[in-house]
Amino acid sequence: MTASIPRLPLRDELFLLGHDDDTGHPHVHRQTLALGLAGAVLIDLYLAGRVILDPNDDTRPVSHLRIYPHIDRPVGDLIADAATATIRHTHPLLRGWLRGFSADLYDRTRNGLVAGGILRRHTRRRFGGLIRADTYLPTHSKWAVIARSRLRYLAAGREQPDNHTAALAGLVADLGLTHHLYLDDDTTVLAARLKAVAAQHYQPVRHITAAVDAAVGDLATATYR
């Protein structure tokens, strides 16, 4: 049934899983989700062969890994092409790039989903019309349902993980979104299963996910300073 439905970029699936289907409210802080979105963009670039991480040194700690372009040509995805452009000349440190590129990525990702017809904007007025509140809801439940189903099959061991879904599993677990997947599993056990799946795949993807986790930790620490 889902074979004819095109797979969304990793960032779009993560955005949808990061929000309540009925209210459009984010499950985690927007900056936290934006860091996950930046990681998702970079993972998609790596899986497409467009970037690499420190090709000549596998011993560096994650905090010192740099990103390098590999295939430097536009693909017609505005966000992916913008990410490649920021990497082209500077070869940035991984965690610093995640923080910088995530700055307005939440809004850009949401706007892209609206332009693609996957989200639609709803406007409500409160207090006699004095305050306008915009929410963004899916135009169809299939997009988030498909992503959740793939994660459910992985957690149950019913499917072998592909690279895209394994990366999604790692990001969902690290951002604390497992209890919003609407699965019956114990969320602690489920998070461990998803992390175990993610840990089986490419080391650079694991490095990116770990850098996202560290950047989210930095954000939480800064909040209490």
27, pLDDT greater than 90: yes
- Where is pLDDT greater, at 219 or 205? 205
Between 122 and 15, the higher pLDDT residue = 15
- Give yes or no for residue 132 having a pLDDT over 90: no
**Phi/psi of residue 189, nearest 5 degrees:** -65, -40
CA 157/CA 36 separation, integer angstroms:
25
Residue 224 has pLDDT above 60, yes or no: no
pLDDT tens track for 63-90: 789 999 998 888 899 999 999 999 998 8
Q: Confidence band (pLDDT; 50, 70, 90) for 124? A: confident
User: Residue 42 in contact with residue 70, Cβ under 8 Å?
Assistant: no
Compute φ and ψ for 166, nearest 5 degrees: -60, -40
| H-assigned helices in the chain | 10-17, 30-47, 78-88, 94-101, 105-115, 142-156, 163-174, 187-198, 203-223
Give me the pLDDT at residue 1, please: 41
pTM for the structure as a whole = 0.90
Task: Compute the Cα dihedral for 153, 158, 164, 168 and give only its sign.
Answer: positive
* DSSP H/E element including 4: none
CA separation for the pair 95, 100 (Å, rounded): 9
Least confident range from 29-33, 125-129, 154-158: namely 125-129
d(CA 16, CA 143) in angstroms, rounded, equals 8
Any idea which fold 10-140+202-218 has?
yeast vps74-n-term truncation variant fold (1.10.3630)
Domain boundaries, the chain: 10-140+202-218
Mean predicted confidence (pLDDT) in 191-203:
88
**52: part of which helix (H) or strand (E)?**
strand 51-53
* Whether the predicted pLDDT of 185 surpasses 60: yes
Report residue 156's pLDDT band, with 50, 70 and 90 as the boundaries: confident
∠ CA 33-38-40, nearest 5°, is 90
Our measurement of the distance from residue 77's CA atom to the centroid of its chain's CA atoms, rounded to an integer in Å, reads 16
